[in-house]
Structures are given as structure tokens and as C-alpha cells.
Chains A and B, each alone.
Chain A
Amino acid sequence: MPSADEIFAGLMQGAREEAAELWEEAKEFSINTCWSLASQLVLVGQAFVAGEFTKAEVTKYLETIRLQFIATLAAALMKVEGLAERIVNAALTAVRDAINGALGFKLIV
């Protein structure tokens, strides 16, 4: 059974090749995702060997891995949107203040 470190190295190599020129941007996200997956796979293997996980359960567990990856994508999108909301709202405040300041009274609240 390979160790989490060995699995992690393999996953990171694959991620680095897929990300290509976007690697620097994707690095942190990939490290977290790959390390988490590597640790998970080691536990799945250990549970299988110890008889705590049957083959049928390992098969079902693959769906959990897929859904966890999808959840990570959805959460990443929410984070990007949250950042965009902060930027636009800061700009809205600046524009509102500029308009009110130019008029000399609070037209927009």
C-alpha cells in the first residue's frame, strides 16, 4: 500500500501537467485537494485491508470522492463570486459618495 506522501506526489505531478501554464495560480488549490485525497485514499486502503470496508463499499465510496470534488468546485466558484461582490460593492460605494459629494446633498443613500 503506497503511503500518503507517495500518492500525494503522484497526484501533484498529474495536476502540474494538467494545469501547465496556469500552475502557479492553481498550485495552492491543488496542494490542498491532492493532500486531502491522498490521506483519504490511504484510509480507504487500510479500511479495506482491515475488513472494515468491503469491495462494494469501496465502489460506493468512489461516488463520495466525486461529490467531494464537485463540492470543492462549487465552493471555489462561491469564493470567486464573493470576491467579485466585495470589489463591485466597494466601487458602488465610491461612485455613490462621488455623486452625493458633487451634488452637495445625499441624492443616493
Chain B
Amino acid sequence: MKCVVIDITEFVANPIRTGIQRVLRELLRYWPNPSHLKLGRFDGSRGLVPLSDDVLPLLLDDDEQAKEATTEELRGLLEQRLNCTDSSGWPDDAIVLVPELFFDPLRCLWYFERVRQHPMSTFFIVYDFIPWLYPSRIGMNVTAPLMHYLRLIREARCTAFISSQVKSDYAARIRRNGSLDCGPVLPLGADGIGLERQAFSARKRVWVSIGAINGNKIKIVFMLHFITCGKMDLMGSWC
């Protein structure tokens, strides 16, 4: 079995509990063969470098200190362990999985070259194309700073999508070749946050709207609707 390296650059640099990071956390938690799993992060001057497994408990909330930590504190704890790189590295035929969305041009260009050289051993999970196809929904003025990533994804040969719609957009509007032979759809699980199954109760009075507050999630519609008729808790961060 080949070694798989998961690039978690953004996760360790900016652990803010986004939806994408939840996906990543579950990937790491349930990876079927942990002994063949390696972690990596991108370094502008060295490319993808190995990360010590020591960061895993912090990312998976298995560390008591990390569980209660704020984002800043968690970032501090991670930074302490980032210096302990894994000197063993990984074999040349390792597969690289990139389950993050990122816009750093250097990282994009590095992967673009890797895709050119190792198209069948560089994998990507693709989340959506909202910034490029519906920029006004999330208040984007221009998309040029995001285009290196799109160019990379367009070039990739091993991609998986979180929904059929994303896959269809990819085929029809990004690659524009009409072929749906571009990778599987891997729907996200609904058990990521470990809540017990919910049942209707007439006694429940509090509405919760979860997720980042941005134009795409039209929180303002919720707010306007509920502001006069009840209590509403917003759990998320402004972006």
C-alpha cells in the first residue's frame, strides 16, 4: 500500500474550525490505514515538508489543553510542535492528497508543477466554485487573486467533489470539456460534530443558524425574519 501524504498547511496555520477543517479532521480521524498516513505542510522555499504526528492530538481535539483552547492558543500550541518535523520523510511514490482550499500563488504554482509531473499521484478534494461563479454573493470585487487555485484545479487529473453540482460545474464551466469523467462525488457526512439524532420538540424555542456569516449563507434573511419574532443565536464568525 502506498504512503499517503495529506497537506494540512492551512489547518495548522489557521485552525479556525471551518467546514473544510471539519472535513479534514474527520479524514484524519477515520483514515483506514494510519500507518501509511503522513502529514505535510507547504513551505514557500522547500515545497511540501513532513509534519510530526505530534500535531494530530491538537487537531483532533484529543489533547485536553487543545480542547479548551481559543483559536489563538491553539495556534500557539501548534506552532510549538510544527518545529518538530518528521525527519523520516516519505517515499518517492507517495500519493499527495490536498483536501484544502487555498490561494497562496506559490503553493498553487508548486502543485501545478507537481500535477504536470505526477498527475496521477496528486489528489484534490474540490469544495465549490462560488467565488468564481457567484462572486457577488460573497462580496467579491475581483477574483484575480483566487485564479491560481482555479488554474491548478482545472489542470488536476485526480479530483473528488463534495456534491454533484460542484462536479457538474467543474466539468461544464471550469474545464468546459463536458466530460464528467473527472472523479467521484464524495458527499459529506452529517455526523461530523457527533450530535445525537435530533427529534422534534414543541418546547424548543431557540433557533440556531450555524456557519460563517457571509453573503453566500444569506444570514441577513434569517436575521430580518427572526429579529421581530424571537430569539436567535448566531454561532459563527463574520468574514
Please determine whether chains A and B interact with each other in the same assembly.
no
